[in-house]
Amino acid sequence: MTYQDLKDFITTKMRMSHVYQPVMLIEMHKKGGYASTEQIAKSILNHDPTQADYYKEVVKNMVGAVILNTFKGS
């Protein structure tokens, strides 16, 4: 893919319905043109506040409750 191909994709074809595409491109750029699936996934998670909100609720409702009840019973 040439620079012009990439520029055309970003300016005319890429949809900004979510952070996935731009974050993936940024991560690949930061890594010199290649990023592993895991690196991209972590970067997406870092840029997706809905995931952070989801895991806050998991911690409060499930994980936190189990840990607190475990230590209360000790």
Tokens of 67: 């840990």
Q: Is the pLDDT of residue 72 over 80?
A: no
Residue 18: phi, psi to the nearest 5?
Answer: -160, 175
Are 25 and 10 contacting, i.e. CB atoms less than 8 angstroms apart? Answer: yes
Number of Cβ within a 10 Å radius of residue 14:
13
Domain coordinates in residue numbering, the chain: 3-72
State pTM to two decimals.
0.59
Confidence bin at 37 (pLDDT 50/70/90): very high
Q: State the average pLDDT over residues 36-45.
A: 92
